[in-house]
Amino acid sequence: MIIVLFGKPGAGKGTQAPLLAAALGVPTLATGDELRGAIRAGTDLGREAKGFMDRGDLVPDSVILGIIKQALSEPRAASGVLLDGVVRTVPQAEGLATVCAELGKKVDAVLVFDIDDDEIVQRLAGRTVCETCQTPYTGRAPGTKCDKDGGTLVRRKDDEPDAIRNRLAVYEKQTAPVLAWYREHDTKVAVIDAVGPVQDVTARALSALAS
Ligand code: AMP
């Protein structure tokens, strides 16, 4: 089972991914987390990605497709995977389809988290994330500790106002057209309301995937 979690930055994909993964019994792949991990580790991948990420621009498709291919080939992805933050461009959708075909898999559904820009700006302005495990929090000050692993909560550089505006513009230009691509390629596209208590959104997501 391969599910693409889709939506604007701040729509709640990162919050919902582990909850949905636990309910569905599959692992998650969050390309943003992978890239931030590479930056912290000081790898070539991290050095290549950092400038794009700090500005709120997309990292080149070739880099992302390399990450996807490796993750989907791992034994832990045998039962499927929830993709959080991929697919973000039409070439990524095409590349993912090719990788899936090579591995005898397919994308089963695209789950769209629907939310207004105003709500996004408000959410991201108040977001902090755990420096170590990347768990996102809303309304918790930088410097406080993560409930899961005690890591320090920090603001993401790309959650600053200029970067947020750029990320929303990038979404409209490069990411939104991906939905039409999936509809044209006969893949189920399920849209859910992403506003409301976390557990309500999880329930909506699971019911949309089951129907
Ligand atoms: P996220 O944590 O999903 O909000 O991603 C943070 C940043 O990582 C994005 O703004 C991009 O710079 C980069 N990134 C993550 N996933 C992708 C992707 N699939 N394609 C291109 N860039 C990505």
Q: What percentage of the chain reaches a pLDDT higher than 70?
A: 100
Tens-digit pLDDT profile for residues 184-201: 999 999 999 999 999 999
Cα distance between residue 196 and residue 99, in whole Å: 35
Residue 101 confidence (pLDDT) above 90: yes
Residue 148: CB atoms within 10 Å: 12
> What residues are annotated to the active site?
13, 88, 127, 156, 167
Which residues lie below 8 Å from residue 70, measured CB to CB, with a gap of 6+?
Answer: none
Tens-digit pLDDT profile for residues 69-88: 999 999 999 999 999 999 99
Tens-digit pLDDT profile for residues 169-179: 999 999 999 99
Q: Where are the domains of the chain?
A: 2-115+175-210
What element of type H or E holds 64? helix 61-73
What element of type H or E holds 205? helix 198-210
Residue 211 pLDDT? 87
Give the pairing type, strands 153-154 and 127-130: antiparallel
Q: Taking a C-beta distance cutoff of 8 angstroms, is the pair 90, 178 a contact?
A: yes
Q: How far is the CA of 64 from the centre of ligand 1 (A)?
A: 9
The CATH code of domain 2-115+175-210 reads 3.40.50.300
Residue 161 pLDDT? 85
Q: Ligand 1 test: best mutation among 4, 39, 53, most atoms within 8 Å of CB?
A: 53
Tens-digit pLDDT profile for residues 115-136: 999 899 888 888 999 999 999 9
Quick check: CB of 95 below 6 Å from ligand 1?
no
Tens-digit pLDDT profile for residues 134-174: 999 988 999 999 999 999 999 988 888 888 989 999 999 99
Token readout for 71 is: 């993750």
Average pLDDT over residues 101-120: 94
